[in-house]
Amino acid sequence: MISFILVNYNTLNLTYESIKSIIESFDDKNEYEIILVDNNSKDGSKEFFLNLEKKLNNFKYIYLEENLGFAKANNTGFKYSKGEYIYILNPDTLLHTKNINQIIDNKFAKDEKIAVIATKVIYGDGSLQPNVQKFTNLFTVSLRLLEIGKIVRNNKFLLNIFKYLPFKPKVINVYLQNFNEERKESFIDWASGCSLIFRRDIFEKLGGFDEKIFMYTEDEEICYRVHKLGYKILYTPDIVITHFVGKSSKNINDFIVKTKVKSEFYYFKKHFPKKINRLKFIYNIVSFLGYPFSKRLRIIRKTLKEITE
């Protein structure tokens, strides 16, 4: 059985559409369960999903009295789960692949070292969403701060230039493969937490997501620990979801930017403590140079001062 765990925060309509897509993807309701953890939504979600819980035997609704963040909420959902597989799925997604149980069984059966499956992810317009990544290093931190990936994927001309560069770092090659419609099944470093399928025993062995991370970076962090334990993460295009990216945190505000910075610094301090001073240096340089031109970089610079004082 697959245990779908979704975390809702004031996204009632999107979350309900996601739940419906799961239900419609199965012929046998005994093959799955849906566990919805609600981070103290105030948009009518509580009343709506409590009522839905009465109608669906394989749907569990957990309403939290405070917003615990993505990591802790998913771990809470896991405690109520019974499935052999744990499918962490964002509430702003739609599952398209029918009866995925057999697909998941076959993928995990290929290699006993496979602990996690990452799926193909597309945008609402049907185009590919870049969800597979190499592990973060100081070079990729610089690219992300400068929003190079965002600029490239929104500009086909620049995307083509990057594609045909004679020499490309491996991290750029991996990123560009996200735009290849024919991308094959392969082992990867990590993928977005919007759609990750864990073996239950491995998720339990890992202790779930690191609850010191409120949200952002928790997906890369848990995937890093998967590799440290000697297990593998498999990307497959055989399971497809639509991710309406950012809809569950669509307002780019101080809180979101600050949380991303704090999460990344925590991740580096935990796993790469010797690189923390170089990380600070990169953040300082980029935020200083971009300070007059970017509200995001001004927030980052202010956050940097808060966490390094």
State the Rg of the chain over Cα.
Answer: 19
Residue of 174, 240, 248, 186 whose CA lies nearest to 216: 248
Distances (CA, A) of 308 to 57, 76, 258, 277, 283: 49, 31, 13, 10, 11
pLDDT at 10 over 90: yes
Q: Regarding beta strands 93-95 and 232-243, do their DSSP bridges make them parallel or antiparallel, or are they unpaired?
A: antiparallel
Amino acid found at 44: G
Distances (CA, A) of 298 to 193, 247, 254, 263, 295: 27, 24, 10, 18, 5
List beta partners, residue 62.
Answer: 37
**HSE (CB half, 13 Å, CA atoms) of 238?**
15
Query: What is the residue-averaged pLDDT of the chain?
Result: 90
> What confidence tier does 177 reach under pLDDT thresholds 50, 70, 90?
confident
> What confidence tier does 198 reach under pLDDT thresholds 50, 70, 90?
very high
> What confidence tier does 162 reach under pLDDT thresholds 50, 70, 90?
low
> What confidence tier does 222 reach under pLDDT thresholds 50, 70, 90?
very high
Residue of 225, 244, 185 whose CA lies nearest to 71: 225
Average pLDDT over residues 81-98: 97
Angle between helices 254-271 and 276-290 (to 10 degrees): 150
What per-residue confidence (pLDDT) applies to 74? 98
Position with higher pLDDT, 80 vs 246: 80
Q: Where in the chain is the domain with CATH 3.90.550.10?
A: 2-130+180-247
What per-residue confidence (pLDDT) applies to 279? 95
**CA 163, CA 286: separation in Å to the nearest integer?**
25
Number of H helices, E strands in the chain: 13, 11
Write out the two tokens for 218: 């928790």
pTM comes to 0.91
**CA 131, CA 177: separation in Å to the nearest integer?**
10
Lowest mean pLDDT among 132-141, 175-184, 191-200: 175-184
What per-residue confidence (pLDDT) applies to 27? 92
Residue of 74, 144, 129, 117 whose CA lies nearest to 246: 129
Average pLDDT over residues 68-88: 97
pLDDT in tens, 231-261: 999 999 999 999 997 555 544 578 889 999 9
pLDDT in tens, 256-275: 899 999 999 999 999 999 99
Does the domain at 2-130+180-247 match CATH 3.90.550.10? Answer given as: yes
Average pLDDT over residues 89-113: 96
What per-residue confidence (pLDDT) applies to 208? 97
Question: Per-residue b/e over 55-90, b at no fewer than 16 CB within 10 Å?
Answer: eeebbbbbebeebbbbbbbbbbbbeebebebbbbbb
Position with higher pLDDT, 120 vs 162: 120
What per-residue confidence (pLDDT) applies to 248? 52
Cβ(74)–Cβ(89) below 8 Å: no
